[in-house]
Amino acid sequence: MGQSLLARLLEAVQRQASRFSTDTYELEPLFAESALPTANGAAWPKHPSSSSRRCFRIFTVRHIFATLAGIFTLLLIGLFWSGVPPSYSEIREFERRLPQHNISLSLPEGRQGKFLRFPDHLWGHGLNNVLQEILLQSELAHLTDRAYVFEDYTWSHLPFPWTVYDFALRPARIPLNAFISGPSAGAPMPAPRAVNAAFWKQVCAHHNVTTVTTEGAPSDIEGDALMHWWVDRLRAVQDKPCIEIVQGVQPAFDRFLFGSPHILSLWPALSASPILANFTWSPLVHSAVTRNFALL
């Protein structure tokens, strides 16, 4: 009786143990394939959390790149939503075809003419600031019998056609004739007429350009006295065909002149000069005013 009971207990234990035998119990392939040998040659499985951490890192990097790409795309959409600025190609072609851009013209124009350029002209400011400087610079060229070299209205010197301002695209450079059509931008006037920078480079590439600095220029004096000082300064290099006034930190006509009563002394001569007497806004400006006149 006791032996049969013991035999039945052993048989029950064996059946229970057979449920966990190596023939029926197997580790998942992840552990079996990634087992590492121990000192005695046995293999221990890696903990599953290491693979989870690796997957999490990969997912996090991808998520960061996807987020950055999404933000960049939204910024581009926002910039281009307001439209792409015009290229002003027709106006640039108009400037290129100005009749004074002809090297075969006789004196005081053509290849034998005399020119005055301000390479350090004001940029990155509003049109009013730039325009007041242009008027005095072109008046100085007129008084010294030189062709004024006009430049683009420049907002940025970056090597791109556009720049960003107020979270919108705007042209980095705009041809001056998009704003004005007066003598300062090459309109008819007693010769020599103003020329653009491209023509200057074509003509003055064959001459030694003479550089005149603003060093020693007086300050805090009446505007007409300052203009006369510059006329005398340029008369000293009258025989030089191509002159550049390098302004640096001290412009030939600075903001202190424009913002003070000293500017008033220039009015009598300037108002009678063709620079101001023949000044006019460009056809583009006139058409914009006409289209929007009802809203003004």
Mean of pLDDT values over 20-28: 47
> pLDDT band at residue 82, thresholds of 50, 70 and 90?
low
| Of the ranges 69-78, 87-96, 200-209, the best mean pLDDT one | 87-96
Q: What is the pLDDT of residue 27?
A: 47
Largest CA distance in the chain: 141
* Helix, strand, coil percent values for the chain (each to nearest 5): 50, 10, 40
Residue 62: which H helix or E strand, with range? helix 48-81
> pLDDT band at residue 235, thresholds of 50, 70 and 90?
very high
More confident residue, 211 or 167: 211
| Of the ranges 36-40, 47-51, 136-140, the best mean pLDDT one | 136-140
**DSSP H helix total and E strand total for the chain:** 11, 11
Mean of pLDDT values over 59-72: 74
Round the average pLDDT of the chain to a whole number and report it. Answer: 84
| Of the ranges 13-17, 203-207, 213-217, the best mean pLDDT one | 213-217
Residue 60: is its pLDDT beyond 70?
A: yes
Residue 78: is its pLDDT beyond 50?
A: yes
- CA-atom Rg of the chain in angstroms: 40
Q: What is the pLDDT of residue 289?
A: 95
> pLDDT band at residue 136, thresholds of 50, 70 and 90?
very high
Share of the chain above pLDDT 90, in %: 58
Residue 76: is its pLDDT beyond 80?
A: no
Residue 3: is its pLDDT beyond 50?
A: yes
Check: pTM over 0.85? Answer yes or no: no
Looking at the chain, which runs of residues are DSSP E strands? Answer: 36-37, 43-44, 115-117, 147-150, 153-154, 162-165, 168-171, 173-174, 195-196, 210-213, 242-246
Mean of pLDDT values over 238-267: 93
State how far Cα 234 lies from the chain centre. 34
> pLDDT band at residue 68, thresholds of 50, 70 and 90?
confident
Structure tokens at 63: 């998520």
Q: What is the pLDDT of residue 55?
A: 59
Q: What is the pLDDT of residue 15?
A: 66
Q: What is the pLDDT of residue 208?
A: 81
Report in angstroms the alpha-carbon separations of 58 from 13, 30, 61, 63: 48, 19, 5, 9
Q: What is the pLDDT of residue 35?
A: 47
> pLDDT band at residue 156, thresholds of 50, 70 and 90?
confident
Residue 267: is its pLDDT beyond 60?
A: yes
